[in-house]
């Protein structure tokens, strides 16, 4: 049995969508998942790619993925890597796939001279929190995430907002 990590290609878009849908089911957020192959292709492989994906394969079958992008720390004056999504299919959990994906991102961060690797986790996901803490990650409890979406985003973008 072998684990292979590789950068996603445009041909992987259906697999990426399937993995995203698996993550949405796990996080109980499937009702918010409107990703399509066309949207993913444009966002990941279009004229201006917004994110990168690493696919984990176990014996040639997709086992998981990490979707990430660069951000920038003004205090460090260096880029960082933000891990948007990490998902390992249930059948492949406990085999080191998640750790291998995070190690790969850490290696990319070091190679790209990034100042940090960070991500968010749902507060009810105690298994993931425990896993991340075992790897040396620490919660940033003093920060609160804010988000503007949908009609509120549209309103903010206008003179009315």
User: pLDDT tens track of the chain, all 161 residues?
Assistant: 799 999 999 999 999 999 999 999 999 999 999 999 999 999 999 999 999 999 999 999 999 999 999 999 999 999 999 999 999 999 999 999 999 999 999 999 999 999 999 999 999 999 999 999 999 999 999 999 999 999 999 999 997 75
Distance of alpha carbon 1 from alpha carbon 118, whole angstroms: 30
CB 64 within 8 A of CB 19: yes
Q: Which two tokens stand for residue 124?
A: 């009810």
Q: Count H helices, E strands: the chain?
A: 5, 5
**pLDDT for 1:** 72
Residue spans of the domains in the chain: they are 3-156
**pLDDT for 161:** 55
**pLDDT for 95:** 95
Distance of alpha carbon 81 from alpha carbon 119, whole angstroms: 9
Q: So which residues are the catalytic ones? A: 132
Q: Which two tokens stand for residue 159?
A: 């003179």
Q: Where do we find the tokens 């803490």? A: 133
CB-based contacts of 98, cutoff 8 Å, min separation 6: 64, 86, 88, 131
4 forms beta bridges with 57
**pLDDT for 119:** 97
CATH code of domain 3-156: 3.40.630.30
Q: Which two tokens stand for residue 85?
A: 């999504």
């Amino acid at each position: 049995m072998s684990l292979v990590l590789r950068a996603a290609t445009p041909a992987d878009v259906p697999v990426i969508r399937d993995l995203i849908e698996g993550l949405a089911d796990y996080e109980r957020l499937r009702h918010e998942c409107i990703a399509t192959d066309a949207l993913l292709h444009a966002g990941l492989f279009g004229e201006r790619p917004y994110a990168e994906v690493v696919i984990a394969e176990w014996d040639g079958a997709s086992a998981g993925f990490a979707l990430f992008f660069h951000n920038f720390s003004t205090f460090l004056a260096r880029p960082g890597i933000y891990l948007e999504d990490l998902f390992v299919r249930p059948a492949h959990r406990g085999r080191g796939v998640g750790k291998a994906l995070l190690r790969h991102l850490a290696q990319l961060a070091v190679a790209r001279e990034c100042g940090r690797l960070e991500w968010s986790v749902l507060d009810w996901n105690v298994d993931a929190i425990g896993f991340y803490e075992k790897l040396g990650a620490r919660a940033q409890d003093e920060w609160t995430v804010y988000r503007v979406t949908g009609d509120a985003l549209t309103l903010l973008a206008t003179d009315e907002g």
